[in-house]
Amino acid sequence: MLDVKFIREHADIVRQRLATRNAGDELKIDQVLALDEQRRTALAEVEQLKASRNRISKEIGILMGQKKPAEAEAKKTETRQIGDRITALDKLVAEVEQQRDALLLQLPNLPCEKVKIGKTAEDNPEVRVWGQKPGFSFKPKTHVELCESLKLIDFARAAKISGSGFILYTHWGARLERALIQMLLNLHTLEHDYTEISPPFMVNRDCMVGVGQFPKFVDQYYGVQEGTDASTLGKLFLIPTAETPVANIHREEILKESQLPIRYCAYTPCFRGEAGAAGVGTRGMIRVHQFDKVELIKITKPEEGYAELEKLVANAERVLQLLGLHYRVVQLCTGDMGFSSAMTYDIEVWAPGQGTYLEVSSCSNCEDFQARRMNLRFKTETGENKFPHILNGSGTALARLFVALVETYQQADGSLVVPEVLKPYLKTDRITA
C-alpha cells in the first residue's frame, strides 16, 4: 500500500511513476486525495467535539461526587446533542476512510526510479547470461515426450484424477522432484544461511491482502470450502506461493532492528487458478494449477533492500549453476512488473526441447509496500518505528526447472544423465525407461 501522506505531499511524483506501469492507476489519485481531504476535515471536527464531551463528562463525574445532581443533569442535556453529532461524524469518517483505503489497496507499488520504463516483456533489459545453449547431435525431444517415454509423469491419469493442469509424477519422476526439493533446501539453508520454514498451505484473507494478491486479483486464486458449509468459503485460500504465508509471519509485529535482515526459505506446493490463461502454452507442465517451489523471503532495513535483492538473485542463480543449466537474467521494465514490486529480476532457464527460455524465478524487492499492508514494522536504535523492505524470490520453481533439466540432460538413446549434484539424492547416474 502506498503511503497516503506521501501521496498527499508528492501527488505529481506518484502520478508520474504510476503512469509508467501503463495501467491507468494514476487517474485514481485525485479521488484518493479528495477522500483523504474529506476524512481529515471531518476527523478534525469530531475530535474537537469529543474533547469537549470528555471534558464535560469529567465535570459531571465530579458534580456527582459532590452530590449536586441538578447541575449534573443540566450538563447531561448539554452533552446529549454533542453525542448525536459525534455519532454522525464518526460514521462519516469511517465510511470515507473505508472508501479511501479500498482505493489505496487497488493501487500498485511505485516502480523504483532505476527500473527501465517500458511496456511489455519485449522492453525488459537482459542483465546477464550464464553458460550457453547445449548442442545436440540429434533433435532434442520435448519434456512431454521424454516424461512419457521414461514414465516420469503420467499426464493422462493426472487429468483423470484432477483435471487438466495437474502433474502426476511417477517413479523416477517423483524421485527427481523430491531430490530437487531436497537439494534446493539444503543449498539455501546450509550454504546461503536462510532459515527453513514449513508453513500452512492454506491462509486467511489478511495474508492475501498483505502481500498484494487481494483485493485486486481475487479471481486468480483458489478458495476452499469446508464440506458443504458455504459459509466457510472465503475464509481460507490455497497459497499461490510460499511468499504468502512466509512474508506474513511477522504481520502486525514490531521487530527489533537487530533481528534484521531476516532470511526465510520454504518449500511449498503453489496453487494457481490461472483463469483465462488456459490454451496458452498449456501443453505439458509449463503452466499448471499446482507446482512445487522453493521460495526465498527477506525482511530488511530499507537502506539494505536493494543490496539484499542482488544477493537473493545470486542465491537463486546458484541453483541453475549447480545443475549446469544455461540461463539468463532480465530485469522487468515498469510495464511488465508485478503489482507489489518496485524492482524485479526474472531468471529464465533454457529448455532445449522447447527451444525457449522459461521463467523459473522472479526476485522482487517490494520495498515497504507489503509491510504497510500488513503493518509490519521494526524499531530503530533511536526508538523510531519504520517499515522494512520485504523481498521475495523463487529459488526456484520446480516444474519448469524439471522441464529444463530433462530436456538438457537427455541422451540420444532417450535416457537421462543425472547431473553430479543430484547423484547423492537419486543414487543413480542415469535414468532409463
Question: Which of 79, 142, 248, 315 touches RNA (CB under 7 A)?
Answer: 79
What track of x and - describes contact with RNA for positions 385 through 424 (by CB under 7 A)? Answer: x---------------------------------------
- Write down the least CB distance from residue 264 to RNA, Å: 21
* Contact assessment for residue 233 and residue 285, using Cβ atoms and an 8 Å cutoff: no
Segment near RNA (CB under 7 A), from 108-116, 172-180, 213-221, 377-385? 377-385
133 binds RNA (CB under 7 A): no
* CB closer to RNA out of 47 and 113: 47
* Contact assessment for residue 2 and residue 371, using Cβ atoms and an 8 Å cutoff: no
- Write down the least CB distance from residue 94 to RNA, Å: 6
377 binds RNA (CB under 7 A): yes
- Write down the least CB distance from residue 237 to RNA, Å: 14
Segment near RNA (CB under 7 A), from 45-53, 162-170, 172-180, 286-294? 45-53
Segment near RNA (CB under 7 A), from 60-68, 238-246, 392-400, 422-430? 60-68
Segment near RNA (CB under 7 A), from 75-83, 242-250, 267-275, 338-346? 75-83
Set of cell numbers at residue 240: 499461490
- Write down the least CB distance from residue 384 to RNA, Å: 8
121 binds RNA (CB under 7 A): no
Question: Which of 13, 34, 64, 275 touches RNA (CB under 7 A)?
Answer: 64
* Contact assessment for residue 393 and residue 295, using Cβ atoms and an 8 Å cutoff: yes
The C-alpha angle 320, 325, 330, rounded to 5 degrees, equals: 70
3-state secondary structure string across the chain: CCCHHHHHHCHHHHHHHHHCCCCCHHHHHHHHHHHHHHHHHHHHHHHHHHHHHHHHHHHHHHHHHCCCHHHHHHHHHHHHHHHHHHHHHHHHHHHHHHHHHHHHHHCCCCCCCCCCCCCCHHHCCEEEEECCCCCCCCCCCCHHHHHHHCCCECHHHHHHHCCCCCCCECCHHHHHHHHHHHHHHHHHHHHCCCEEECCCCEEEHHHHHHHCCCCCCHHHCCEECECCEHHHCCCEEECCCCHHHHHCCCCCCEEEHHHCCEEEEEEEEEECCCCCCCCCCCCCCCCCCEEEEEEEEEEECHHHHHHHHHHHHHHHHHHHHHHCCCEEEEECCCCCCCCCCCEEEEEEEEECCCCEEEEEEEEEECCCHHHHHHCCEEECCCCCEECCEEEEEEEEEHHHHHHHHHHHCECCCCCEECCHHHHHHHCCCEECC
Question: Which of 62, 88, 174, 233 touches RNA (CB under 7 A)?
Answer: 62
Q: Which residues, other chains included, contact 186 with Cβ-Cβ below 8 Å and sequence gap of 6+?
A: none
Segment near RNA (CB under 7 A), from 50-58, 105-113, 261-269, 303-311? 50-58
* CB closer to RNA out of 84 and 219: 84
Residues within window 237-256 making contact with RNA, judged by CB under 7 A = 254
53 binds RNA (CB under 7 A): yes
Set of cell numbers at residue 127: 542483465
- Write down the least CB distance from residue 293 to RNA, Å: 23
160 binds RNA (CB under 7 A): no
Question: Which of 13, 23, 27, 51 touches RNA (CB under 7 A)?
Answer: 51
CA distance 385 to 362: 29
Q: Please name every residue paired with 224 in a beta bridge, in sequence order, or none if there are none.
A: 236
Number of residues that bind RNA (CB under 7 A): 30
10 binds RNA (CB under 7 A): no
Pairing of strands 254-256, 377-379: parallel
- Write down the least CB distance from residue 159 to RNA, Å: 26
Question: Which of 16, 30, 66, 80 touches RNA (CB under 7 A)?
Answer: 80
Segment near RNA (CB under 7 A), from 241-249, 351-359, 376-384, 401-409? 376-384
24 binds RNA (CB under 7 A): no
- Write down the least CB distance from residue 66 to RNA, Å: 10
Segment near RNA (CB under 7 A), from 14-22, 58-66, 163-171, 311-319? 58-66
Question: Which of 33, 56, 92, 249 touches RNA (CB under 7 A)?
Answer: 56
47 binds RNA (CB under 7 A): yes
Question: What does the binding site for RNA look like in residue numbers (CB under 7 A)?
Answer: 5, 43-44, 47-48, 50-51, 53-58, 60-62, 64-65, 72, 76, 79-80, 83, 87, 94, 254, 377, 379, 383, 385
